[in-house]
Amino acid sequence: MMQKILIDPVTRLEGHARITIHLNDHGAVENAYFHVTQLRGFEKLCEGRPFYEMPGIMSRICGICPVSHLLASAKACDAILAVHVPATAVKLRRVMNLAQIIQSHALSFFYLSAPDILLGMDYDPAKRNIVGLLEANPSLARDGIRLRSFGQQIIEMLGGKRIHPGWVVPGGVAEPLSSEHRDAILKMLPQALRATQRSLDWYKRAVEGYREEIRTFANFPTLFLGLVTPEGAHETYDGRLRVVDAVGAVVADHIDPEEYQRYIGEAVEPWSFMKFPYYKPLGYTEGTYRVGPLARLNIVTSLGTPRADQELAEFRGLGREVVLSSFHYHQARLIEVLSAVEQIKRLLSSPDILDRNVSATAGINNLEGIGVAEAPRGTLIHHYKVDEAGIVVWANLIIATGHNNTAMNRGVLQVAKHFVDGEKLNEGMLNRVEAVIRAFDPCLSCSTHALGQMPLRIQLVDRGGSLLDELRRDG
Amino acid sequence: MSRILVIGIGNPLRGDDGLGRHAAEKLTERLRESIFEVVACHQLMPELAERVAQAKMVIFLDACMGTKAGALKLTRIASTGKGQPSSFSHELQPAELLAIAEALYGARPRGVVLSMTGESFGYSTELSAPVQRALPRLLRRAEQVARGAVPLLAESAVRNHYRH
């Protein structure tokens, strides 16, 4: 008798997603699906708008990573203008992207996932949240708040506001950096560095208690994709795409991001509004790949900064040739924060960082533009086509969460098979099924409004629709 | 370090919901002394806890629902205290923010919410007419509360921070 478990909505993610777990006649998990049930439609609504409005419009896709969309969009517009962005503007854009990575990773790690790791997957959900975290480990909570605030303050100093800054414009940035803001950021750096290191040290001790989750949280071979420098080092703003396989072999390298369509296909499934990108040469679903912090650490030769490279060397020891368990996204995230803090210091120490030449202008020189950058959650692609008046006639976006879609689905199945008992549901099982998705930090979580308290219902029903078991959590 | 913190809350794209932000932007011009800090934000987040912890008093400016648009209400609030469950991930209530400041930094500033009843919360960057008319009254009251709180500060602190 086929049975189905429904988790709807999934908590600590954007509200419009659900999970279904299918059981076979013996009550064992047979399949699982992570459904994204919302449709944003940004690709359609920008049609008919002037291309120069795109950065402002596209940054509204997300309240957590607006800077990433702003950057990828502005880069696509740079390509339409065929403009040479001044070197100082490139550095300032990089600083803002790194600040974005810091604040977004801090939100994901400290606010959304650390309560699980600190308090335990089976802990009372009413207390398994940021408040529980600050009671149990106020020092960790302070560090988390400080790091998020650090990233946000940099964005605010550069862009004028913390969310949806319009400072990155086609051709460069709107305003140069003032010496007061540079000095203020440099002054905050040592504290941010210490907070990050303390958090990493805490995490590496705490994670010892999660060996079973590490073994089963989306721990399987896939490809990994991301941007790297020409030397193969960590890159978040520019560079070329690299694809590495599950044993660390480079299967594609130096891919010009403008040629992404030759390498990335997009499949669709009838049960989700989120697309399923795949590595074209291997087809769907053989070409499943992961992006984001775990992938970036797996594909690079170096992070390019001293402390982060030490951590990278240690991180590599978690796997063989590459680290396969998605549980390690958490550690990768903290290492990237460390790297970002170090990189910001280096960029702000550049002699030309206060240069006032930060934008270039041009007319429409191309009818097509592609902008790629690394968002906190992974590779972000904006692709626009315009007419001769600069009106957008077509747009395609591939967002980090989409790249990870197939892997997240497989991860849900792996966790469900390991932890779900079809005869009886419990809170810890439910939380682990959700937690594997949280490890990826999908962009769906951008609109999360509740933590551990969202209304939630899991039902176990038989083929005839009879309710066998139900777990309910009221908001 | 600011000693009297004013936080204007709201979404400026949703009509009267943006009242707190509009008010904060105008108050920045009226409360220029260094003991005052005025912040405008969409919603309350834990990142504000450190600033709250450095204040003697926090004045929250926000719009509220009600029957008489433009009606003004001053409510004294206290920290929800340690151990109170919260549904927070992206948004806090003022008392919850005070609780975080207390739990993490041991600070217990006084807190008040100065709220005004809104009329329209639809998609708009404009305040409704009755709220627009009542805005000067909100500003006067907020300034009065902020300046009235100055005696809370110790004389030494005033000497250090209060400049005319």
What is the DSSP annotation of A231-281? TSBB-SSS-EEEEE-TTS-EEEEEE-GGGHHHHEEEE--TT-SS-EEEEGG
pLDDT, tens digit, for every residue of A347-368? 999 999 999 999 999 999 999 9
Average pLDDT over residues A235-244: 97
Domain spans, chain A: 3-38+408-473, 84-218+326-361, 220-324
Question: Residue B87 pLDDT more than 70?
Answer: no
Q: Which residue of B has its CA nearest to A453?
A: B87
pLDDT, tens digit, for every residue of A48-92? 999 999 998 888 877 778 899 999 999 999 999 999 999 999 999
Within 16-75 of A, beta carbons closer than 8 Å to B belong to 63
Q: Which residue of B has its CA nearest to A12?
A: B89
Amino acid at the residue B117:
T
Helices A329-348 and A179-206 sit at what angle, rounded to 10 degrees?
A: 160
Q: Which domain holds residue B8?
A: 4-161
Q: How far apart are CA A290 and CA A247, in angstroms?
A: 14
> What total of structural domains would you count in chain B?
1
Q: Is the ipTM of this complex over 0.85?
A: no
Within 39-68 of B, beta carbons closer than 8 Å to A belong to 41-42, 46-47, 49-50
- What 3 state SS string does A399-465 have? CHHHHCHHHHHHHHHHHHHHHCCCCCCCHHHHHHHHHHHHHHCCHHHHHCCCCCCCCEEEEEECCCC
Coil, strand or helix: which one is A178?
A: coil
pLDDT, tens digit, for every residue of A120-153? 988 887 778 777 888 899 999 999 999 999 999 9
List strand residue ranges (DSSP E) for A186-235, in order: 223-228
CATH assignment of the domain containing B20: 3.40.50.1450
Q: What is the pLDDT of residue A431?
A: 84
Question: Residue A275 pLDDT more than 80?
Answer: yes
More confident site: B79 or A163: B79
The residues that bridge with A177 in the sheet, in sequence order, are: none
Cβ contact, residue pair B104, A452, below 8 Å: no
Q: What is the pLDDT of residue A66?
A: 85
Question: Residue B157 pLDDT more than 60?
Answer: no
When pLDDT is cut at 50, 70 and 90, the band that residue B28 belongs to is: very high
Q: How far apart are CA B10 and CA B12, in angstroms?
A: 6
The residues that bridge with A406 in the sheet, in sequence order, are: none
When pLDDT is cut at 50, 70 and 90, the band that residue A463 belongs to is: low
Cβ contact, residue pair A131, B88, below 8 Å: yes
Closest partner CB to A134 (pick from B42, B50, B100): B100
- Chain A nearest-CA distance from B71, in A, is 29
Question: Residue B16 pLDDT more than 70?
Answer: yes
When pLDDT is cut at 50, 70 and 90, the band that residue B82 belongs to is: low
- Chain A nearest-CA distance from B35, in A, is 20
pLDDT, tens digit, for every residue of A10-22? 654 444 677 888 8
Length, in residues, of chain B: 164
When pLDDT is cut at 50, 70 and 90, the band that residue A467 belongs to is: low
Q: What is the pLDDT of residue A430?
A: 80
Question: Residue A263 pLDDT more than 70?
Answer: yes
When pLDDT is cut at 50, 70 and 90, the band that residue A415 belongs to is: very high
Q: Give me the percent of chain B exceeding a pLDDT of 70.
A: 84
Question: Residue B164 pLDDT more than 90?
Answer: no
Question: Residue A292 pLDDT more than 50?
Answer: yes
Q: Which residues of chain B make contact with A126, given a CB cutoff of 8 A?
A: 85
How many CB contacts within 8 angstroms connect chain A with chain B?
65
A139 inside 8 A of chain B by CB = no
- Chain A nearest-CA distance from B151, in A, is 30
A136 inside 8 A of chain B by CB = no
Within 65-104 of B, beta carbons closer than 8 Å to A belong to 82-91, 99-100, 103-104
When pLDDT is cut at 50, 70 and 90, the band that residue A268 belongs to is: confident
Q: Which CATH topology does A84-218+326-361 take?
A: Cytochrome-c3 Hydrogenase; chain B (1.10.645)
Q: Which residues of chain A make contact with B104, given a CB cutoff of 8 A?
A: 134, 138, 141-142, 145
Name which of B48, B54, B89 to mutate to probe chain A: the one with the most chain A Cβ atoms within 10 A of its Cβ. B89
- Chain A nearest-CA distance from B146, in A, is 24
Cβ contact, residue pair B84, A131, below 8 Å: yes
